[in-house]
Chains A and B, each alone.
Chain A
């Protein structure tokens, strides 16, 4: 397949490429939101530990 033909997708480019783009967005969102969720959970856990330590004092 030539480079032009690859992007043209036999006339279906306006259907194929948005699907690939949306799939990339969904996968990237999953990774980003999961990392963010874990980071927030670590912060909450660290706060809970710090609070427990200050109460113990």
Chain B
């Protein structure tokens, strides 16, 4: 029953699966993101308070969700790597970091662009914005720490440890709008009971979220193949993989 789980620790298996999955994930991501953008920008009605400026949420909210999701994936992979010493888990963490950092930057920039017409300022030292900015710094810290060691194995361990410690920021980001007075609006979609957003606005948003998840999967597959090759370049199976 657990055979599939153990296989995930095998670099050649992971390399093969990532190569096979990547085109499918990318194709599905293109379809779902395409639908989300067309429906969200062209067909969803304007918000009764924010007008058409609300359409920024179709890129802001998925990127903000993904910044937390990718970080959680990176921290869990880091913890698995530290506890069970699985090299592939280090590769997953290393491959996730630049993707998560870029999505965090996207969330910050689009949030700032939304803030100007809605709040009258591009930036405020609000708990949600500040904790999201700290997330970006942690991503950059994890990437810098990994490359700061001459011995890659030590760099991997140090980066994994920082990723695990930095995970404390994820619930802070998520609940910052509940715990503190915040300019940022509270949960609209991910809340208990009925989401306080109309279906015609919600479906494109959910499609964008699924699209961003699939896109992360596709880019992770590409980067993961590179990470695995870099770590396993002396192995016999790499010779066969490179030939094919």
Contacts and interface: CB of A to CB of B under 8 A. Distances in A.
Interface of A: 1, 6, 9-12, 15-16, 18-20, 22-23, 26-27, 29-31, 33-35, 37-38, 40-42, 44-46, 48-49, 52
A10 B43 CA distance: 14
Given A22-B110, A34-B222, A48 B117 contact: no
A39 B225 CA distance: 10
Given A26-B103, A30-B99, A30-B215, A19 B56 contact: yes
Contacts of B41: 6, 16, 20
Interface string B222-235: 11011101100110
Interface string B55-69: 110011001000000
Interface of B: 26, 33, 37, 41-43, 46, 51-53, 55-56, 59-60, 63, 98-99, 102-103, 105-106, 109-110, 113-114, 116-117, 215, 218-219, 222-223, 225-227, 229-230, 233-234, 238-239, 242
Contacts of B113: 15, 18-19
A46 B239 CA distance: 8
A52 to B, nearest CB: 7
A1 B33 CA distance: 20
Contact of A45 (B53, B218, B242): B242
A37 B63 CA distance: 22
Given A6-B42, A48-B233, A15 B63 contact: no
A34 B72 CA distance: 20
A7 to B, nearest CB: 10
A26 B117 contact: no
A22 B109 CA distance: 8
Contacts of A49: 233, 238-239, 242
A42 B222 contact: no
A23 B222 contact: no
Given A30-B102, A45-B242, A38 B109 contact: no
Given A41-B233, A45-B233, 11 more contacts: A9-B53, A16-B56, A19-B114, A26-B102, A31-B222, A40-B226, A41-B226, A42-B229, A44-B233, A49-B233, A49-B242
Contacts of B51: 10-12
A31 to B, nearest CB: 6
B117 A44 contact: no
Scoring A11, A12, A49 by chain B CB atoms within 10 A of each residue's CB, the highest score goes to A12
Contacts of B242: 42, 45-46, 49
Nearest to B33: A27
B105 A26 contact: yes
A3 B190 CA distance: 33
B222 A35 contact: yes
Contacts of A30: 98-99, 102, 215, 219
